[in-house]
Amino acid sequence: MPKTIDLTGKTCVIFGVANQRSIAYAIAQQVAAAGAQMAFSYQNERLKEHVEKAVAPLGSSLLVECDAIDEAQVENVYRRVGEKYGRVDMIVHSIAYAQHDDLGGAFSKTSLQGFRTALEVSAYTLVPVVSKAVPLMGEHGGSVVTLTFDAAGRVYPGYNIMGTAKSALENIVRQLAAEFGPKKVRVNAVSAGPLPTLAARSIPGFNEMRSAYETRSAMKRNVNHEEVANASLFLLSDLASGITGAVIPVDAGYSIMGL
């Protein structure tokens, strides 16, 4: 018998909503529509209003300040979620950042500080975001989705250090999936095609990426936010109960093509 996704009574914590054009917001829309209770992080007070405004249409939600590099702040997010909802069932990790000087130009010019920043923010943060939540998942376990990109395994000129960070992120997905699998916690990644977001505009050659996907992908088009959100919703739900440690491409078939 066909099943539908019903998340009523479940709690989802989303890290990384910037505005209504962000991928994390598109996922939040689908998760909220399926009935889940929602909690969102915002990096600092300067960004609080933007996040608050973005998520307002989704109904009553918990907002908690969190710079995910600070593990004490991550712990505070889950403390607040525990106080309000009592449990965590789903997590969306949509956090990525690289210094502007380390995008574009020669990869070999990447600074040590730039390397650390990109890897710490874009990859390492998944570790505390997952590990600190496990106690609140309890015996029922939970599901985590993070966002990666095809540059984890191939060179995209201009993407530079972010490709290295995404490669590390994908390995962390597998490591965490293996560690927490016995606790019924699933950790997966969605590898989305290039979507027009605020962050994407800062990537040199982004428009060329979009053109290449439209021309060369198996489906001869780009994907959209809703398609990435739908795949993420599936992975977060019990319909994907047998999937962990996976990287699921939502790229219109670009990654399967040789030419």
Each residue's pLDDT, cut to its tens digit, for the chain (259 residues) gives: 557 899 999 999 999 998 999 999 999 999 999 999 999 999 999 999 999 999 999 988 999 999 999 999 999 999 999 999 999 999 999 999 999 999 999 999 999 999 999 999 999 999 999 999 999 998 999 999 999 999 999 999 999 999 999 999 999 999 999 999 999 999 999 999 999 887 777 788 888 999 999 999 999 999 999 999 999 999 999 999 999 999 999 999 999 999 8
Active site residue 159: yes
Per the residue annotation, which of 166, 184, 220, 254 is the catalytic one?
166
CB 200 within 8 A of CB 172: no
Per the residue annotation, which of 25, 78, 124, 159 is the catalytic one?
159
Q: Token pair of 18, please?
A: 């910037």
Active site residue 166: yes
Q: Domain 11-252, what architecture?
A: 3-Layer(aba) Sandwich (3.40)
Domain boundaries, given as residue ranges, for the chain: 11-252
Of 176, 83, 186, 196, the residue nearest 125 (C-alpha): 176
Return the pLDDT at 259.
84
Three-state SS string over the chain comes to: CCCCCCCCCCEEEEECCCCCCCHHHHHHHHHHHCCCEEEEEECCHHHHHHHHHHHHHHCCEEEEECCCCCHHHHHHHHHHHHHHHCCCCEEEECCCCCCHHHCCCCHHHCCHHHHHHHHHHHHHCHHHHHHCCHHHHHHHCEEEEEEECHHHCCCCCCCCHHHHHHHHHHHHHHHHHHHHHHHCEEEEEEEECCCCCCCHHHCCCHHHHHHHHHHHCCCCCCCCHHHHHHHHHHHHCHHHCCCCCCEEEECCCHHHCCC
Return the pLDDT at 2.
58
Return the pLDDT at 164.
98
Q: Token pair of 103, please?
A: 């995008």
Query: What predicted TM-score, i.e. pTM, was given to this entire model?
Result: 0.95
State phi, psi for 196 to the nearest 5 degrees: -75, 100
